[in-house]
Chain A
Amino acid sequence: MRIGVYVCHCGLNIEAMVDVEEVAKFAATLPDVTVARDYKYMCSDPGQEMIKKDIQEFELERVVVASCSPRMHEPTFQVTIQEAGLNAYCFEMANIREHCSWVHTDKERATEKAEALVAAAVFKASQLEPLETIEVDVTPTALIIGAGIAGMQAALDIADEGFKVYLVEKEPSIGGHMSQLDKTFPTLDCSACILTPKMVDVARHENIELITYAEVESIGGYIGNFKVKVRKKPRYIDETKCTGCGICAQHCPVKALNEYDLGLGYRKATYVPFPQAIPMKYTIDRDNCIQCRTCEHVCGMEAVDFEQKEEFLEFDVGAIVVATGYDLLDPLEKPEFGYGLENVITGLQFERLSNASGPTAGKLIINGKVPKDVVFISCVGSREKGGREYCSRFCCMYNAKQAHLVGEKIPDANVTVLYTDMRAYGEGFEEFYNRVREEGVKYVRRELDDPIEVKKKDGEEDRVVVVAKTENGLEEYEADLVVLANAAIARSDTEKVRRLVSASRSRDGFFLELHPKLRPIETTVDGIFLAGCAQAPKDIPDSVAQGSAAASYVCSLLSQKRAKGESCISVVNEDLCIGCGTCVSVCPYGAMEFSERGSYGSSNFRKVAQNISALCKGCGTCGSECPGRAIDVKHFKDDQILAQVEGILSV
């Protein structure tokens, strides 16, 4: 074996704390090392040229670069050695900057450690094997899970590029949370006015297949080749016949609380969630339906079908966008805020009250009374140390907007906002906040941990009292209406969806992006992308931006026709495999399957495990679990890791 070792000074970054010349000299003494050099900047053009020249001159078979983190420059040097004719995997890096020069203070001992890291890399390099790059075909279609604003934006962008999109929504209508909002901050645009044209675009787009009142049942396969199964719940009304005339709802005798209005208003047992719903198709809520069949009789189109069954749709897609949105914390979990009292509502309930299509046609009335004293309370369940520690990001601004709306609708109202910190970070936010304060809204600051209690006012049925420690000391605010900014939390079914796509979740429970800074759209699974609040709470423009970003990732994948697979994957040595199935059950990606050897019934018949290379992500868990020690993980084989161990311990 002929190995070249290249030790980088990284200017003074390494050289100041590691004697790089000494390390290069040391490397030259290691077995199999043909040439060892040090240089000021290995990643520079002259540095890379030096490596290429050496590969040719000394006929090097493996290359070791001792410099920064492989997460930084491994791809750089892999390309370098490929240009000189070596396989990209005949390369190993020793991280003597992040893991050495930057974290130690004694040059002699840091140099010794650098030598140990170089020895580990050289020993591993001598065990490395060239690997082939795997490519797979890509099906030019996409699945979007969730048709809120983020999912809709992603669907429209992908469809506009000419790719077929399956847009799956679990509710009877698309639109998501945005469709429930009244005005949007800080511009005070009417939410429905800007959303509904987009909803119509989605419904009309020839490349979008809209599948509402449906949930994804299973997802198999891998990047470019996902197999999707969707369960369409029965509406008990034939979508192809229903014209949305609403005569069924008009005559339906059953009243039920409308989920869409968060319990503030009612709908019938046959319903559309809101007047601009898309598709404009009615749904019968069988939990509340008394089966009087009036709807069946009055429907001129004979669209009602009580015998309708759930339906399963199956299709293939090349990429998936998870845009499942968020839930809001049940404020009953924070009893001190008095939710459950009739004068205490959540921010989203306020939106429905204020909305012209809401239960009070946009009038702020609680049980027939126009409130005079209104108190908003921020951070209900958000920013809790040791618990839900994150900020829900949009509450500060909707508080401000709602405070403004109160003033607009009830000019003589006294509006107080009990806030903890004001986060007006976005475009036009600070200006809007200032405007609202100038309009007379009183902002009173309290600390996050300060006690607060919302309770009924003694002797008055329609008043509550907020007792809170604030910047002014212990205070009492009497109110006719208290609005709580309850935390945005991960959807209750996040775990179910996560299992479908095999992605990961963050500590906050939302879907985890691949890198918090540089790869905020991708997930840990190739071909699966994130958009909107499924990843973390964000406001409408950020959700739209992420929807478009996810779409551009999807389009660039779908237009390539071929996708790069993982090269560092598991291989089964069939002679050692005992057919126990451990790997089949531990593999998170279903990349291990049983394969039969010999003919069934004969003595040579047996089952062995087999790796589906396109599914394998190379984590190696199967290898370290394999009872027969029959599985090796390419590029991270036992012998390769042990060589590293020997190297590290040799100095």
Chain B
Amino acid sequence: MFPKIITFCCNWCAYPGADFAGISHFKYPVNARIIRVMCSGRVDPGLVLEAFISGADGVMVMGCHPGECHYEHGNYEAERRIKLLRYLFDKYELGGKRLRVEWIAASEGRKFAEVTADFVETVRKIGAFQEKAREILEVMKDTFYGERLRLALGAASRALDSGADGEKYEETLKKIAEEEMKKYRVLQTLRKEGELCVRVVAEKLGLSLRETFDCFLDLKHEGLIEEGDIGEDRYMIYGFVRGER
């Protein structure tokens, strides 16, 4: 079946909204399948990426309307993360529209059915993932499971509450995510191909020597790679540390 759609629904608004669509017999395509979570804020972007890696073609996160979250602000957290994911999906040509956040009240059965039908159609038009997508998704998963981006994402509401500039914060999140994507692409290359030097990795990934070396330094600092011998071209060889978390 194509497309396969996973919809994460919060227990308090969206899930009963979907129930209400059922009670009212509003029809929508069979492609959409629902997973219940207590709050849309529970939807870790890493889980969303794992769903894509496991074969989902589109993922929707549905929560309570702004201000109506059962847990105060979980829906805003969900929106912030999915927005960032969408940005990266577009940047890496995976199709940002495969991701959507929607607010569904318990009474909005019709909206649930309409939004679902529209989303299935949108994803159908985007089509299946390209061959290379899986590798990018894996890197993105590492990025969103990585400590640095999670620290910045997790601190967002705290920062905004104390007066931080929202737009600037969003730009910083994008910048961090892109840097981390580069870092984990480097790690993925080392993981796959064994020991390599900065020059070779830079060539493979089409990155400059400087940005590649920055990634190496970060990875070494985090204990994910270690220095090895110096090659004939005087470039130091680095290897991936086994047994990382």
Contact = CB atoms under 8 A, between A and B. Distances in A.
B141 to A, nearest CB: 12
Nearest to A13: B22
Interface stretch (B127-135, B143-151, B222-230): B143-151
Interface string A211-245: 00000000000000000000000000000000000
A582 to B, nearest CB: 4
Contact of B158 (A71, A100, A585, A642): A585
Contacts, number: 173
Interface stretch (A139-147, A197-205, A392-400, A501-509): A501-509
A387 B38 CA distance: 30
A586 B158 contact: yes
A109 interface: yes
A626 B74 CA distance: 14
A102 B22 contact: yes
Interface string B4-27: 101000011001101101110111
Interface stretch (A274-282, A364-372, A544-552, A617-625): A617-625
Interface stretch (B28-36, B94-102, B187-195, B234-242): B28-36
A646 B6 CA distance: 11
A502 to B, nearest CB: 6
Interface string B63-85: 01101111111100100010000
B41 A621 contact: yes
Contacts of B44: 623-624, 638
A519 to B, nearest CB: 11
Nearest to A69: B19
Contact of A621 (B12, B19, B71): B71
Contact of A504 (B15, B35, B70, B81): B70
Contacts of A516: 106-107
B68 A512 contact: yes
A358 B33 CA distance: 63
A578 B35 contact: no
Interface stretch (A77-85, A110-118, A289-297, A373-381): A110-118
Given A70-B36, A645-B50, A649-B54, A582 B151 contact: yes
Contact of B67 (A70, A95, A117, A504): A504
Chain B CB within 10 A, most for which of A583, A627, A646: A627
B104 interface: no
A627 B42 contact: no
B22 A99 contact: yes
A609 to B, nearest CB: 12
B38 A620 contact: yes
A98 interface: yes
A648 interface: yes
Interface string A39-76: 00000000000000000000000000000011100000
A250 interface: no
Interface string B34-52: 1111110111111100110
B104 to A, nearest CB: 13
A638 B145 CA distance: 12
B177 interface: no
Interface string B101-134: 0000111000001000000000000000000000
Contacts of B65: 507
Contacts of B19: 69, 71, 95, 98-99
B51 to A, nearest CB: 5
Contacts of A110: 30
A120 B35 contact: yes
A372 to B, nearest CB: 47
B56 interface: yes
Contacts of B150: 582, 625-627, 629
Contacts of A620: 37-39, 41-42, 74
A103 B158 contact: no
A638 B148 CA distance: 20
A627 B55 contact: no
Contacts of B71: 524, 588-589, 617, 619, 621
Interface in A578-627: 578, 580, 582-583, 585-586, 588-589, 617-621, 623-627
A36 to B, nearest CB: 20
B27 A71 contact: no
Given A586-B158, A624-B41, A648-B6, A95 B34 contact: yes
A428 interface: no
Contacts of A568: 38
A628 interface: yes
B28 A618 contact: no
A429 interface: no
Nearest to B33: A648
A105 interface: yes
Contacts of A116: 33
B26 A103 contact: yes
A103 B27 contact: yes
A113 B33 contact: yes
B152 to A, nearest CB: 9
Nearest to A625: B154
Contacts of B105: 507
Nearest to A102: B22
B35 A627 contact: no
A374 B170 CA distance: 56
A624 B51 contact: no
A125 interface: no
Contacts of B16: 69, 71
Contacts of A580: 151, 154
B153 interface: yes
A138 B119 CA distance: 47
Contact of A624 (B34, B77, B147): B77
B170 to A, nearest CB: 16
B27 A104 contact: yes
A633 B27 CA distance: 33
Given A627-B151, A642-B47, A505 B35 contact: no
A505 B68 CA distance: 5
A97 interface: yes
A585 B155 contact: yes
A13 to B, nearest CB: 10
A507 B106 CA distance: 13
Given A512-B68, A628-B147, A649 B74 contact: no
A427 interface: no
A626 B39 contact: no
Nearest to B70: A524
Contacts of B37: 620, 636, 641
Interface of A: 69-71, 95, 97-100, 102-106, 109-110, 112-113, 116-117, 120, 502, 504-507, 512, 515-516, 524, 568, 578, 580, 582-583, 585-586, 588-589, 617-621, 623-629, 633, 636, 638, 641-642, 644-646, 648-649
User: Lowest 7 A-B CB distances belong to which pairs?
Assistant: A98-B22, A620-B42, A621-B41, A582-B154, A624-B44, A619-B71, A619-B39
9 contacts: A106-B30, A113-B33, A504-B67, A585-B154, A586-B77, A619-B41, A627-B148, A633-B42, A648-B6
